[in-house]
Amino acid sequence: MSEDRKAAILRAVVQEYIESANPVGSGRVADRSGIDVSTATIRNELVLLEEEGFLVQPHTSAGRIPTEKAYRFFVDGLPGPGRLEAADREQVSAFFARSHSELELMLRDTSTLLSDLTGSPAVVLAPDRDHQEVRSLQLVGLGPHLALLVIVMANGAVEKLALEFTDDVHESTLAIATAHLSGAMIGRHMSDAPKPLRTGDPAVDHVFGAALALLADRAADLEEAFVGGAARVADVFDDVGLVQQVLNVLERQYLVVGLLRDVLDRGLSVVIGTETRVEPLNECSLVVAPYEIDGDQVGSIAVLGPTRMNYPQAMATVAVVSRQLGDRLTSG
């Protein structure tokens, strides 16, 4: 028996099942594999593949479906992420060509874009907030007891943080505090916020100290995960119980962040079923790619779907979006 022929038959079964979601018989394999052998020979090969753990037969009279082992074989045999359709490439380019003034909004919209392109839930992990230096910042009064701290990072990303005060804060106080903040923070990372110095004005000292503490807290926050297309979970998974399990995972930020970090730490771009190491996702696959700012890996994006997801298309989409997201964040 030819190992090449067996591999071709297995790839044909996986591809057919990904497209149809129906158990695959020898006739369907013969139609698409291009192998010049009889259906009887293909049936024999399918029996051997089942014995080796690549296929299972749900019913005696039915065809066979791939196992996690078969999907891993299929993914490992792909020549690369493939090429995104021209219309999808244009959609991605147009998206990143638009102005996105706030980092959080751009990342949230990127997760929606990724979900729209793949038809599956998507996740974007925000970059490490401490990766970039502060370019400028300003305190803007929103009322007697409320101010907005607007921070512009070196790559042009904008963060807006609210500051609340028990006493009235005048615009002149905010202006002086802004000048001190600028002197203390421009060119620094947020985690490098110094201890506040006394300015001689208690009101300014209070605002100055509160702003520096807020910057330090923000830098220490865990990476934030933006989930797009969560409603699509019900479309890509048939089992109601599985739908709820997946939604529960997506709602737990620390779990999503930890999962994507773990995948990349293991040097993987595709994890299948139990490879996720998250039991509720045992019937799911995840396609992940990092994105870079100035050549440094700072975050990641991912598509979550069933184990029978369209891997070439998901890999191509994730590759293009991650590259353009990194380019956009680098250019500012």
Query: Does a structural domain hold residue 75?
Result: no
Helices H / strands E in the chain, number of each: 12, 10
Strand partners, 302: 123, 288
CA distance 56 to 301: 32
Per-residue pLDDT, 221: 65
Non-local CB neighbours of 15 within 8 Å, separated by 6+ positions: 32, 74
Q: Token pair of 256, please?
A: 């999503």
pLDDT tens per residue across span 263-292: 888 877 899 999 999 999 999 999 999 998
Q: Token pair of 32, please?
A: 């698409």
Question: In the chain, which stretches have pLDDT less than 70?
Answer: 1, 33-34, 99-101, 128-131, 155, 220-223, 332
Q: How far is CA 58 from CA 11, 15, 23, in A?
A: 19, 18, 8
Which residues span the domain enclosing 301? Answer: 86-128+223-331
The pair phi, psi for residue 290, each rounded to 5°, is -80, 160
Amino acid 163 reads: L
Query: Does a structural domain hold residue 72?
Result: no
Per-residue pLDDT, 71: 97
Query: Does a structural domain hold residue 7?
Result: yes
Considering the chain, what percentage of its residues have pLDDT values greater than 90? 53
CA distance 227 to 124: 7
Q: What letter would DSSP give residue 313?
A: H
Strands 122-125 and 134-143: unpaired
CA distance 54 to 70: 5
Per-residue pLDDT, 322: 94
CA distance 231 to 103: 23
For the domain that residue 13 is a member of, what is the CATH number? 1.10.10.10
Instruction: Give the three-state DSSP class for 272.
Output: strand
Per-residue pLDDT, 131: 66
Per-residue pLDDT, 172: 92
Query: Does a structural domain hold residue 29?
Result: yes
CA distance 51 to 169: 75
Q: Which of these three, 200, 220, 240, is where a domain ends?
A: 220
Amino acid 29 reads: V
Considering the chain, what percentage of its residues have pLDDT values greater than 70? 95
Do 166 and 30 fall into the same domain?
A: no
Per-residue pLDDT, 1: 47
Query: Does a structural domain hold residue 279?
Result: yes
pLDDT tens per residue across span 223-232: 688 999 999 9
Per-residue pLDDT, 99: 64
Do 110 and 230 fall into the same domain?
A: yes
Q: What letter would DSSP give residue 277?
A: -
Q: How far is CA 311 from CA 43, 120, 143, 316, in A?
A: 26, 12, 52, 8
Q: How many domains does the chain fold into?
A: 3
Q: Which of these three, 220, 251, 271, is where a domain ends?
A: 220
Q: Which of these three, 171, 190, 220, is where a domain ends?
A: 220
Angle at 112 between CA 129 and CA 103, to 5 degrees: 25
CA atoms within a 13 Å half-sphere pointing along the CA-CB vector of 320: 25
Per-residue pLDDT, 214: 87
Strand partners, 227: 123
Amino acid 210 reads: A
Do 227 and 216 fall into the same domain?
A: no
Do 266 and 162 fall into the same domain?
A: no
Per-residue pLDDT, 301: 94
The pair phi, psi for residue 185, each rounded to 5°, is -115, -25
Query: Does a structural domain hold residue 74?
Result: no
